[in-house]
Structure 1
């Protein structure tokens, strides 16, 4: 019973308390309802957006941008991390340049991305890809370079070389760090998408929020914020499930 409470009920206790406090504050009209609408008003706006099909349309576009950017940026970051972690020549050739680019706030490149790539999908996907690439790169590089040398030597004693050595020793040893990078990158993905969709666009959840701001529709703005939070939590849960399945052999991930 205590284990069920700890894993399934306790994580949702604080959001539930916040919801109750929010409803009470709104009912007492401590703040103007136009600035801080009640949860019931937010729920009503959510229902209207769902029924009209507007919400599904914007969500579909945002998810496309997010996961295409994640696929592109994550793949590049993973490959560069593996390459630089595996090869000293590659590390000394590319890592310094990558670190210099990494320290440039990628959201500051938004105006330049619009000039270069226009206001279409390409600029938004580019920013998301750039944002997620570096967390995955850093953690993959760290994971590859942190593999116990004793395991590497043992693998070589068993005749493992090249791809076989990487597959059976380096990759399993680096997976915990790679998944940490993935989970961090998922947060950066949503953050980047929010900013990219609030500038020079006509669709997506960010546009929905900015359009609602112009008409002082605070309830719709809160709906988009909650949806972003739920998608972020869902993405992290999926990453956790993948992490547990991929690392079932690891003693720290066993029940």
Structure 2
């Protein structure tokens, strides 16, 4: 008995393009609507960069034509050269690490306390009555007005800088946590009690998830605010950090280095905002408002 071998003709798979939200689209089968959707998605991703790139291009052109004095505003190419020189020497990364360490330490202290106090006053009416009025009065004192007092208390070392950052980031997280707890749907709480959840289970499974979106808004606001306060804090006799870098450059009229420091603050603030939005998408992936809908 002889074995019969059947030849199978293998046809190559069509080329495909990975379009976000559209899955893998075979080029041969992609219709005009699918291609238009893909191009629209690419356009949406590039659109936020149009204005910054356009402004930098105008800045470079104006500097090249002599419309802007290099002492007032150096060309972007000169700023990039200064940044490259600082990066190659390692000085840039040293100052960035110091500033990031100060910002994150202040956020951990002030944000942690804001979260705890927000949870307590939002959950217990007695603690709200006892603490909230005092906290709101302190909140209305500008952080910059505390600088003379902070110097008298802590001197000009790291403690003063951490105190200013911690106080500033405390209030956004506290307020948003407090309101997040209070705005949880009472119907959900009652339903949890009906299912026999204990107080801890009710808090963990119903109240905290319901308040999480508001808490993350406070975190996002605090992440931006901490860099603003850090700029001021690092002018208090700092010996390192981005603020020290810019202040030292000012003494020697190095405008390009000053701009490097300013752009670093902007970049770090943007990265912090991207990180906060990533946390929102991850921790609130169950929330309908944060779920991406496939096209």
Is TM (by shorter chain) over 0.5? yes
1:118-129 maps to which residues of 2 (within 5 A)? 118-129=155-166
Q: Write out per-residue CA displacement over residues 64-105 of structure 1, whole angstroms, 9 at most, x where no aligned residue.
A: 100000001000000000100000011000000000010100
Residue in 1 aligned with 2:40? 2
TM superposition shift of 1:31: 2.1
Structure 1: give runs of 5+ residues left out of the alignment: none
Q: Does 1:154 align with 2:206?
A: no
* Pair 1:215-2:252 in alignment: yes
Shift of 1:199: 2.2
Where structure 2 has 5 or more consecutive residues not aligned to the other structure, the ranges are: 1-38
Deviation for aligned residue 1:139 = 0.4
Match of residue 6 from structure 2: none
Greater C-alpha Rg: 2
The answer on 1:25 being equivalent to 2:62 is yes
1:92-138: per-residue Cα shift (whole Å, max 9, x none)? 00000000010100121112111111111111011111100000000
Superposition map of 1:69-148 within 5 A: 69-148=106-185
Distance in 2 (CA, whole Å) between partners of 1:112 and 1:203 is 22
Deviation >2 Å, runs of 4+: none
**Structure number with higher relative contact order (C-alpha < 8 Å, ≥ 6 residues apart):** 1
Q: Does 1:195 align with 2:268?
A: no
Give CA-to-partner distance per residue, 1:31-70, whole Å, 9 cap, x none: 2111110001000100111111111111111011000000
- Choose the corresponding residue for 1:16, options 46, 49, 53: 53
Provide the C-alpha distance between the structure 1 equivalents of 2:260 and 2:202, rounded to a whole number of angstroms.
49
How many equivalent pairs are there?
Answer: 254
Deviation digits for residues 142-172 of structure 1, max 9, x if unmatched? Answer: 1000001100100111112321111111111
- TM-score of the pair, normalised by structure 2: 0.85
User: C-alpha distance in 1, partners of 2:66/2:203?
Assistant: 62
Q: TM-score, normalised by structure 1?
A: 0.98
